[in-house]
């Protein structure tokens, strides 16, 4: 049954990338427990607007957990405390009356703060640009059933392909590593026969771009897997490492 | 105005082949001399951008999100149709064509729909080549399922995330072209105006959403791939940023808008839970295979569902439609749910919901079988509502989720403005008055991968272009218009927020131009929208400044356009004095309360031409000729 709760929010406010940020405190009263976390911020923002203040900037779009646009660190957890849940799918029934909630942006050298809770994740697009694809121009594809792919392989590829590119893995990692994101794409494409011809080039290009963009290395903390709203497994990082070593030994480019 | 759809002559099955031969070509070495702007990076925009760049054109691609991968195509769950006949169950291009035309209640263009069915197979091949992990059988071949009323299994899928996987395939191809330098990507830009030079679409004016700067971009042609306008209802299954602005601005520059009142309302969504709700979530309609829809027989019966005995329950779909029962098409299921709630029989806190009950199915097949079929959907439902659908019936209610109307395009996907092409949900062309399940993904990708790359060449090769760099006076003038509008929004400084206005508009549209419409209501709504719009420009409060990341300002611009566009939808609904597909005017029903078409007077596409501020737009008609299918009446009793 729905009820209402009162909360205290401590929200990171930062006017721009070069500006100094700070935590501001806002009361959140009569919040329905049926609301999503983002709807709760909507309510606060309506009030801030009417009070003549700047509403809190935050990224969001589909609000059904698939576009990867939303995300903030809530009480120290990327996307909040619920496992396998994006911030937009987190509901207020998981909080109690009187709670204090601290809301901060993703923090990483590679993700600069744009404003308040909004960060610049274009580094992910840059990594995909250098190899996160199969080079297949429209028009020349053979029949879809020309190459049978074992169901188990297709399922494993799909597990990795489910990544929504939200960046929670980077935010959760003490090294701000993007290895889960890169590992998921290298696995998705490398597991499939169509992806093999470019596999060695792909993994080397993506890893070197990832390093150049300022992401850290993986030290097996597994925080990324715990924070991932799509529960992408860190075995994808192991596969990334194997692909990378194999490429370096056998197909230097 | 005479609308020439440029449908090629000859037999239906040969039209596209003939047309491709007749189209002029741009020499491979000359393609790089042409710039093309693509607005939007959903299935249509991403696939078009990638394909045009692969051909050698220089492409500039724009999206409002921080990355092109986030466009709302990503949220499509169910699947994509293709006439592969892999299931050996009698499917064919002709059958997919026929199902689509009939499903659209005979208000789509035959030639366009046939072409869509023709290229459907190539989309699957392209997707597989890109590495899309479609579901497969044990033997490793592609799996199919049946979907949305079709009698054959022609739907390809990737778990419940088909849209995501298809979009990421197109996004990866787009990123590859960004890497080669053939596509220049402009994320976090919102198109505010279309720029015309010499009557041709030659560029756009956008707002940089980070800096607030108004930028000009020029090209030889512009392709709008900006999706649908479902958010005119405020609450819909669309993403928060989905909007009509790009299309509406093009309409105001002279592009005709077709069938704006055709909006699809999906029957199985999670109901509204309160005034603060920001969006609605769809639950796959496959649930109606095993769930039984019911409401209490007596209005106002507030007992928990388990305490309501069989005798006091009304399984209204089963009683009203004995042969189709809970599996009636989307428009029928939606209208009936609304009717029950209007009678005061709705359930839940808001009384705007009906039950979808799995108790009988669980008793019949066991919980495990039901969990295997619908486990992920039950889990999603529980995450959002906090209720366990194995124990309690689900509560569902219809929600807006797709718009069949859009900018008018000819067979080449070109609007009435030369050089302005419109793809995917943003155009009107293929779904008539009702879209079938798993057809939206097919159309977006067909347009982007396999139609525009041919037809745009025909336009570019045949047209003469004068120099029109961004220094041209037309760009300066259009930039001033856009700037003035932004400043006007910021200067009102009233007492109501943007969302407050938008929500009120949504209520009006939903009440009077939603699942069932009547002339009195539509006329009333027209006045209500006009006064709301007047109030908006006197009393809206947009905080912050122009030179900044300002999400309130973004929303204000979109809401302002919705406040005008809503009225156009009402005009369109009023002009169509018949019922067809999604458009049910209560004055035109069969004895069974189904849509009664008037093929004699309304077998046409309604095309609206902007006539100036506060003037009634002019209505033009493109007659629809059906030479290959016979017009019939749908019945589900």
Could you please report the per-residue DSSP string of B50-70?
HHHHHHT-EEEEE-SSSSGGG
Backbone angles phi, psi at A185, to 5 degrees: -70, -40
pLDDT given at position A80: 98
Tokens of B159: 């778990």
A34 in B contact zone (CB under 8 Å): yes
What percent of chain A stands above pLDDT 90?
A: 97
Average the pLDDT over B20-33 and give the result: 96
Q: Answer yes or no: is pLDDT of A78 > 90.
A: yes
Q: What pLDDT was estimated at residue B375?
A: 80
Helices A122-129 & A179-191 angle (0-180, nearest 10): 30
Residue A168, both tokens: 């929670």
Residues B389 and B497 in one domain: no
Q: Cα separation of B124 and B514, whole Å?
A: 34
Say how far apart CA B256 and CA B414 lie, in whole Å.
11
Is residue B525's pLDDT more than 70? yes
The average pLDDT across B543-554 equals: 96
User: What topology does CATH give the domain A121-136+144-250?
Assistant: Fumarate Reductase Iron-sulfur Protein; Chain B, domain 2 (1.10.1060)
Q: Given this model, what pLDDT does residue A252 score?
A: 61
ipTM: 0.98
Closest partner CB to B549 (pick from A114, A137, A161) = A114
B312 and B452 inside one domain:
no
* CATH class for the domain made up of A4-104: alpha beta
Cross-chain CB nearest to A38 (options B139, B278, B495): B278
pLDDT, average across residues B415-432:
97
pLDDT of B118 strictly over 90: yes
Burial B204-217 (b: 16+ CB within 10 A, else e): bbbbebbebebbbb
Give B143's DSSP letter: P
Same domain, B445 and B500: no
Residues B112 and B216 in one domain: yes
SS (H, E, C) A44-106: HHHHHHHCCCCCCCCCCCCCCCCCCCCCCEECCEECCCCCCCCHHHCEHHHCCCCCEEEEECC
A63 touches chain B (CB under 8 A): yes
Q: How far is A110 from chain B (nearest CA, A)?
A: 15
B28 plus B172 within the same structural domain: yes
Same domain, B274 and B388: yes
Nearest alpha carbon to residue A130 among A68, A78, A178, A59: A178
| C-alpha torsion sign, points B30, B36, B42, B44 | negative
Has residue B487 got a pLDDT over 60? yes
Q: Are residues B555 and B450 in the same domain?
A: no
Domain map (residue ranges) of chain A: 4-104, 121-136+144-250
Determine, yes or no, domain membership for B523.
Answer: yes
With 0-12 / 13-18 / 19 or more C-beta atoms within 10 angstroms meaning exposed / middle / buried, residue B538 is exposed
Phi (first) and psi of residue B472, to 5 degrees: -60, 145
Does B120 share its domain with B163? yes
- Inform me whether the pLDDT recorded for A155 exceeds 90: yes
Dig out the tokens for B264 from the structure: 């699809």
Mean pLDDT along residues B176-188? 98
- pLDDT at B329 exceeding the cut of 80: no
Res B614: pLDDT: 85
- B2 located within any domain: no
pLDDT tens-place string over residues B593-618: 788 999 999 999 999 999 999 899 99
Tens-digit pLDDT profile for residues A199-215: 999 999 999 999 999 99
Q: Does A150 touch chain B (CB under 8 A)?
A: yes
Domain count of the fold of chain B: 3
Q: Are residues B375 and B426 in the same domain?
A: no
CB-CB neighbors (< 8 A) of B167 in chain A: none
- Continuous segment of H or E residues that includes residue B400: strand B394-403
CATH at B50: 3.50.50.60
List active site positions of B: 330
In chain A, the largest separation of any two C-alpha atoms, in whole Å, equals 64
Do B26 and B52 touch, CB atoms closer than 8 A?
Answer: no
Q: Are residues B67 and B184 in the same domain?
A: yes
State both tokens at A89. Answer: 């799918």
Average pLDDT, chain B: 95
| Dihedral sign from CA coordinates of B253, B257, B260, B262 | negative
Within 13 A of A64's CA, how many CA atoms are on the CB side? 26
Tell whether the model's pLDDT for residue B190 goes beyond 90.
Answer: yes
**Domain check: are B226 and B344 in the same one?**
no
Specify if B337 maps to a domain: yes
Give A-chain residues touching B184 at CB under 8 angstroms: none
A151 vs B172: CB contact, 8 Å cut-off? no
Q: Is the pLDDT confidence value at A1 over 60? A: no
Residue B391 burial (10 A CB sphere; 0-12, 13-18, 19+): exposed
CA closest to A82 among chain B residues = B383
User: Is 60 exceeded by the pLDDT of residue B478?
Assistant: yes
A130: tokens are 């250098």
Query: Of B422, B443, B462, at which residue does a domain stop?
Result: B462
In a domain, B7, yes or no: no
Question: B427 to each of A236, B405, B478, B504, B586, how far by Cα in Å?
Answer: 40, 7, 24, 27, 27
Are B118 and B231 contained in the same domain? Answer: yes
Q: Dihedral of CA B283/B284/B287/B293: which sign?
A: positive
Select the residue of B141, B273, B500 nearest A148 (Cβ to Cβ).
B141
Instruction: Find chain A residues with C-beta within 8 A of B277's C-beta.
Output: 39
For residues B179 and B172, give the distance between their C-alpha atoms in angstroms, rounded to a whole number: 10
Residue B376 has pLDDT above 80, yes or no: no
Give percent of chain B above pLDDT 70. 99
> Using CA atoms in the order B252, B479, A114, B182, what is the torsion angle rounded to 10 degrees?
80
CATH number at residue B299: 3.90.700.10
Q: Which helix (H) or strand (E) holds B344?
A: none
Q: Give a yes or no: residue B423 inside a domain.
A: yes
At B132-167, the pLDDT tens digits run 999 999 999 999 987 766 778 899 999 889 999 999
Residues in chain A with CB shorter than 8 Å from the CB of B50 are: 138
Residue B467 included in any domain? no
Query: Range of B290's domain?
Result: 265-400
At A28, which helix (H) or strand (E)? strand A22-32
Q: Report if residue B106 sits inside a domain.
A: yes
Q: What is the pLDDT of residue B400?
A: 96
CA distance A75 to B173: 38
Is residue B4 in a domain?
no
Q: Are A61 and B187 in contact (CB under 8 A)?
A: no
Distance, in Å, from the CA atom of B397 to the CA atom of B235, rounded to the nearest integer, reads: 12
């Amino acid at each position: 049954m729905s009820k209402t709760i009162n909360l205290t929010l401590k929200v990171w406010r930062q006017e721009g990338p070069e500006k100094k940020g700070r935590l501001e405190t806002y009361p959140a009263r009569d919040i329905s427990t049926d609301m999503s976390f983002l709807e709760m911020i909507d309510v606060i923002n309506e009030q801030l607007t009417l009070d003549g203040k700047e509403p809190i900037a935050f990224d969001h779009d589909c609000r059904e957990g698939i576009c990867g646009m939303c995300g903030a660190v809530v009480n120290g957890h990327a996307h909040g405390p619920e496992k396998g849940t994006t911030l937009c799918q987190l509901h207020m029934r998981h909080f109690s009356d009187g709670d204090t909630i601290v809301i901060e942006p993703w923090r990483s050298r590679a993700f600069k703060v744009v404003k308040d809770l909004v960060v610049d994740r274009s580094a992910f697009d840059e990594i995909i640009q250098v190899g996160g694809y199969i080079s297949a121009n429209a028009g020349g594809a053979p029949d879809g059933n020309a190459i049978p792919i074992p169901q188990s392989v297709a399922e494993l590829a799909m597990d990795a392909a489910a990544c929504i590119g939200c960046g929670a893995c980077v935010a959760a990692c003490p090294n701000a590593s993007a290895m889960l994101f890169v590992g998921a794409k290298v696995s998705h494409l490398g597991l499939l026969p169509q992806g093999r011809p470019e596999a060695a080039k792909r993994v080397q290009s993506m890893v070197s771009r990832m390093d150049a963009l300022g992401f850290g290395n993986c030290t097996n903390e597994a925080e990324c897997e715990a924070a991932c709203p799509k529960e992408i497994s860190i075995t994808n990082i192991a596969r990334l490492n194997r692909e990378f070593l194999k490429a370096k030994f056998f197909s230097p480019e | 105005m005479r609308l020439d759809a440029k449908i090629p002559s000859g037999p239906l099955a040969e039209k596209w082949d003939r047309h491709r031969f007749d189209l002029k070509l741009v020499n491979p070495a000359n393609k790089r001399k042409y710039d093309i702007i693509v607005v939007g990076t959903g299935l249509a925009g991403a696939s078009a951008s990638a394909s045009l760049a692969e051909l050698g054109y220089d492409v500039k691609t724009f999206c409002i999100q921080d990355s092109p991968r986030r466009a709302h195509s990503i949220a499509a769950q169910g699947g994509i149709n293709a006439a592969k006949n892999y299931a050996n169950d009698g499917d064919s291009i002709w059958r997919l064509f026929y199902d689509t035309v009939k499903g659209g209640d005979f208000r789509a263009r035959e030639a366009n729909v046939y072409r869509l069915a023709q290229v459907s197979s190539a989309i699957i091949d392209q997707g597989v080549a890109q590495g899309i992990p479609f579901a497969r059988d044990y033997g490793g071949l592609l799996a199919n399922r049946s979907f949305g009323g079709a009698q054959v299994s022609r739907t390809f899928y990737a778990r419940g995330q088909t849209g995501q996987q298809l979009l990421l395939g197109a996004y990866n191809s787009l990123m590859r072209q960004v890497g080669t330098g053939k596509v220049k990507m402009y994320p976090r830009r919102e198109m505010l105006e279309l720029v015309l030079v010499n009557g041709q679409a030659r560029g756009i004016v956008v707002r940089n959403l980070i800096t607030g700067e108004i930028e000009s971009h020029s090209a030889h042609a512009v392709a709008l791939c900006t999706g649908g306008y479902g958010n005119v209802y405020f609450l819909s299954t669309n993403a928060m940023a989905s909007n009509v602005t790009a299309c509406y601005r093009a309409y105001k520059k002279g592009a005709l808008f077709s069938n704006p009142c055709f909006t699809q309302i999906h029957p199985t969504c999670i109901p509204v839970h309160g005034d603060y709700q920001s969006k609605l979530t769809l639950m796959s309609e496959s649930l109606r295979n095993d769930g039984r829809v019911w409401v209490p027989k007596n209005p106002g019966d507030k007992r928990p569902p388990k305490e309501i005995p069989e005798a006091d329950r009304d399984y209204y779909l089963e009683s009203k439609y004995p042969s189709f029962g809970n599996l009636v098409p989307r428009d029928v299921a939606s209208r009936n749910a609304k009717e029950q709630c209007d009678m005061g029989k709705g359930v839940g806190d808001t009384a705007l919901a009906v039950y979808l009950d799995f108790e009988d199915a669980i008793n019949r097949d066991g919980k495990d079988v039901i969990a295997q079929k619908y486990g992920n959907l039950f889990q999603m439902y529980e995450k959002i509502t906090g209720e366990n659908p194995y124990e309690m019936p689900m509560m569902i209610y219809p929600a807006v989720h797709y718009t069949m109307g859009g900018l008018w395009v000819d067979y080449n996907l070109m609007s009435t403005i030369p050089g302005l092409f419109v793809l995917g949900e943003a155009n009107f062309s293929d779904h008539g008055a009702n879209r079938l399940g798993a057809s939206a993904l097919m159309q977006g990708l067909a347009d982007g991968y396999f139609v525009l790359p041919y037809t745009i060449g025909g336009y570019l090769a045949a047209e003469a272009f004068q120099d029109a760099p961004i220094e041209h006076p037309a760009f300066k003038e259009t930039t001033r218009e856009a700037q003035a509008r932004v400043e006007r929004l910021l200067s009102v400084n009233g007492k109501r927020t943007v969302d407050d206005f938008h929500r009120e508009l949504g209520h009006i549209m939903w009440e009077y131009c939603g699942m069932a419409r009547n002339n009195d209501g539509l006329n009333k709504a027209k006045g209500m929208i006009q006064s709301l719009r007047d109030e908006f420009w006197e009393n809206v409060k947009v905080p912050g400044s122009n030179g900044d990341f300002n999400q309130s300002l973004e929303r204000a611009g979109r809401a302002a356009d919705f406040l005008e566009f809503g009225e156009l939808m009402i005009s369109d609904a009023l002009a169509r004095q018949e019922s067809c597909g999604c458009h049910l005017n209560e004055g035109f029903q069969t004895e069974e309360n189904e849509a009664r078409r008037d093929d004699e007077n309304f077998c046409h596409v309604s095309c609206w031409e902007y006539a100036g501020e506060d003037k009634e737009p002019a209505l033009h008609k493109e007659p629809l000729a059906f030479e290959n299918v016979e017009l019939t009446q749908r019945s589900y009793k």
